[in-house]
Amino acid sequence: MILPEKTIERLSKYRRVLINLNFQQKDYIYSHELANLIHITPEQVRRDMMLIGHSGTLRRGYEVKQLIEKINSIIDGNTVQYVTLVGVGNLGRAMLNYLKNKNKYLQIIACFDNDQDKINKMCCGIPCYSINEAEEQIKKLNINIAILTVPTNVANEVADILIKAGIKGLLNFTTMPLKVPSNVYLEEYDMITSLEKVAYFTQFIE
Amino acid sequence: MILPEKTIERLSKYRRVLINLNFQQKDYIYSHELANLIHITPEQVRRDMMLIGHSGTLRRGYEVKQLIEKINSIIDGNTVQYVTLVGVGNLGRAMLNYLKNKNKYLQIIACFDNDQDKINKMCCGIPCYSINEAEEQIKKLNINIAILTVPTNVANEVADILIKAGIKGLLNFTTMPLKVPSNVYLEEYDMITSLEKVAYFTQFIE
């Protein structure tokens, strides 16, 4: 069964909060405590747990380690997926530093750029290749997820190259909305839109 | 009238696409062309235009410059809002470089950190102050929007300081979900959750 997107988002947050707050030192957690940590309702937590077939006890709640492992098995499927980041400018480098080593099942093992000063060197500890080698390297390294941080005006073109190379999951941080074939999973996030949204709604606050 | 969040997101995208693609050189654009550029339906574009009271002509579509100006007046309200970024680590610096100068009505005029090496210096061209001075500076500089890029474990504490200082809009890039009073507009984005979501759904693609 493929779980809904919103459920996956919450599972990712449950796991991070449990790990972040060192809740591992606590053996059990109640649904209302977990709900409180990510500011949702206990009912929502219980619905999610039912959906993933995870049960707690009325007296002590959910066993924390077991819950983390359950979420691991769902999100990561206990198999490593290889990831690349494409476009190692300011934003790209920051994302590389921020996202690498955050999840042992998601390994960023290569990045791509068209800048001769970066190609065939290490960028933030990750080998950087020429975008012209993308197809060859992506196939060779068995990479199936790409993070896109190239300039807006080449976003479409680069996405096409990546998809041709076999990328199946794309996280697009450029401000250019992409169109991808139905056998590619696309997640887009536009930081400028978010900031403009905050600005708009802030105007109405007294 | 306060517009819905999704409408504001699309208006921000219409505007960026129109500007990005140098559509200014073109005088008119049809709803289906605009729709195509951000991969939505022409009906959605027309509903949004009706909602903001912007009309085009059947023969030539929407006047591009007029539409950009209309969106300016809605999102930015033709008044400058001052913005700060808090937490000038890797992610913070990247966001600073990426978001500054993107919108003349949203001016990032200060950043805050607790690192003595950064305080009272310029960071990416923006003056950096001690987080201990946040309340004083935010009031003095008339800042009402903050971008939060501090480490997860201090996110709540720093958000409280900012809200106490008068911040009305908060863009939270940490992985810690925040709880804010009802008179603060909060937008949260968790990059790790997005990447994990891509990883999850990519598993099911053949």
Tokens at A43, concatenated:
């009912």
pLDDT reported for residue B176: 87
> How many residues are given for chain B?
206
Cross-chain residue pair A194–B171, CB shorter than 8 Å: yes
CA dihedral A121, A125, A131, A132 (to 10 degrees): 50
pLDDT by residue (tens digit) across A136-194?
999 999 999 999 999 988 999 999 999 999 999 999 999 888 989 999 999 999 899 99
Contact in structure between A178 and A196 (CB atoms under 8 Å): no
Sketch the domain layout of chain A as residue ranges.
5-75, 81-193
* Element at B203 (helix H, strand E): none
Name the burial class of residue A114, with classes exposed (0-12), middle (13-18) and buried (19+) by CB atoms within 10 angstroms of its CB: middle
Strand order in the sheet with B81-86: B122-123, B126-130, B106-113, B81-86, B143-148, B169-172, B185-188
Taking the C-alpha atoms of residue B162 and residue B134, their distance in angstroms, rounded to an integer, is: 7
pLDDT reported for residue A24: 56
Contact in structure between A114 and A142 (CB atoms under 8 Å): no
Nearest by CB to residue B193, choosing from A9, A74, A81, is: A9
Furthest CA-CA distance within chain A: 61
Q: Nearest to residue B188, comparing CAs of B164, B171, B204?
A: B171
pLDDT by residue (tens digit) across B138-182?
999 999 999 999 998 899 999 999 999 999 999 999 988 898 999
Taking the C-alpha atoms of residue B116 and residue B127, their distance in angstroms, rounded to an integer, is: 13
Nearest by CB to residue B81, choosing from A93, A97, A199, is: A199
Contact in structure between B21 and B46 (CB atoms under 8 Å): no
Cross-chain residue pair B192–A102, CB shorter than 8 Å: yes
ipTM confidence score: 0.90
Fill in the DSSP letter of residue A79.
Answer: S
Task: Indicate the fold that domain A5-75 takes in CATH.
Answer: Arc Repressor Mutant, subunit A (1.10.10)
- Buried b / exposed e over B149-159, threshold 16 CB at 10 Å, is bbeeebbeebb
pLDDT reported for residue B17: 84
pLDDT at B24 over 80: no
Taking the C-alpha atoms of residue A57 and residue A66, their distance in angstroms, rounded to an integer, is: 13
Nearest by CB to residue B20, choosing from A152, A183, A199, is: A152
Cross-chain residue pair A185–B205, CB shorter than 8 Å: yes
Among B64-68, B77-81, B112-116, top mean pLDDT goes to B112-116
Query: Which CATH class name applies to B81-193?
Result: alpha beta
Other C-beta atoms within 10 Å of B134: how many?
22
Domain B5-75 and domain B81-193, same fold? Reply is no
Confidence of residue A22 (pLDDT cuts 50, 70, 90): low
Taking the C-alpha atoms of residue B96 and residue B92, their distance in angstroms, rounded to an integer, is: 6
